[in-house]
């Protein structure tokens, strides 16, 4: 079972489910697990990356997502935690539960975008922070609502994703800073020899 934190939350969620919320959560889960949806997201991301020439930022997001997925799978094997019982679940997912891979992937991607991007205004940064945080939270809440994960599975996934996303984003920022420092250094070929 889920323990003293997870059990009461799951009982409360199961007792207050509604048809419209269940439909919305199932739709999100279908989109999140759909290869078509993944292909559309990847295509849109490629268009944005090429249009903005944000190759390092794209690499940071890819690094964060791939690493988060791999580490989440390893941790699932290590912890071997069971998923919520059938009487609390509307979906039945295979494999171990802790941490939530969906939560890890979404928080890793969102954090990498926020950290790696050089924002032109604080308003743009705030807007994107709110949008990405809301999307990440919605995915995690839906996983708990549907009974695919215990709440602490989602919290662990978010923590993992935030840590790995921040690390990848900081690597990107460091590389950008190194490029800027190189751009400011005078090119020795441009210096004129001193006349005699």
Q: DSSP H helical segments within 34-87, as ranges?
A: 35-52, 55-79
Residue 114 is assigned to a structural domain of this protein: yes
pTM for the structure as a whole: 0.79
Q: Is the pLDDT of residue 10 over 80?
A: yes
Task: For 140-195, write each residue's pLDDT tens digit.
Answer: 998 898 888 999 999 999 999 999 999 998 988 887 765 555 455 565 555 555 55
Residue 193 is assigned to a structural domain of this protein: no
Q: How far is CA 135 from CA 57, 99, 130, in A?
A: 19, 18, 8
Residue 182 is assigned to a structural domain of this protein: no
Cis bond leading into 99, ω under 30°? yes
Residue 189 is assigned to a structural domain of this protein: no
Q: Which range marks the domain in which residue 109 is found?
A: 3-177
Q: Which residue has the higher pLDDT, 106 or 30?
A: 106
What is the number of structural domains in the chain? 1
The neighbour count for residue 179, using CB atoms within 10 Å, is 11
Residue 192 is assigned to a structural domain of this protein: no
Q: How many residues does the chain have?
A: 196
Q: How far is CA 160 from CA 106, 108, 164, 177, in A?
A: 11, 8, 6, 26
Residue 188 is assigned to a structural domain of this protein: no
Look at residue 165 and give its three-state secondary structure. helix
Residue 146 is assigned to a structural domain of this protein: yes
Q: Is the pLDDT of residue 77 over 80?
A: yes
Residue 72 is assigned to a structural domain of this protein: yes
Do 194 and 138 contact (CB within 8 A), yes or no? no
């Amino acid at each position: 079972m889920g323990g003293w934190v997870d059990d009461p939350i799951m009982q409360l969620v199961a007792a207050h489910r509604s048809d419209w919320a269940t439909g919305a959560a199932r739709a999100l889960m279908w989109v999140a697990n759909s290869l078509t949806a993944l292909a559309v997201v990847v295509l849109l991301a490629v268009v944005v990356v090429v249009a903005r020439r944000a190759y390092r930022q794209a690499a940071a997001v890819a690094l964060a997502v791939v690493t988060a997925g791999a580490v989440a799978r390893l941790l699932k094997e290590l912890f071997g935690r069971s998923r919520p019982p059938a009487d609390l679940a509307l979906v039945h997912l295979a494999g171990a539960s802790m941490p939530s891979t969906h939560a890890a992937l979404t928080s890793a991607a969102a954090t990498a975008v926020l950290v790696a991007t050089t924002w032109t205004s604080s308003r743009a940064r705030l807007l994107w922070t709110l949008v990405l945080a809301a999307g990440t939270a919605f995915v995690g809440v839906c996983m708990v609502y549907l009974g695919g994960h215990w709440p602490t599975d989602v919290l662990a996934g978010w923590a993992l994703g935030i840590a790995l996303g921040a690390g990848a984003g900081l690597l990107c920022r460091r590389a950008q800073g190194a490029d800027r420092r190189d751009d400011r250094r005078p090119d020795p070929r441009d210096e004129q020899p001193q006349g005699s």
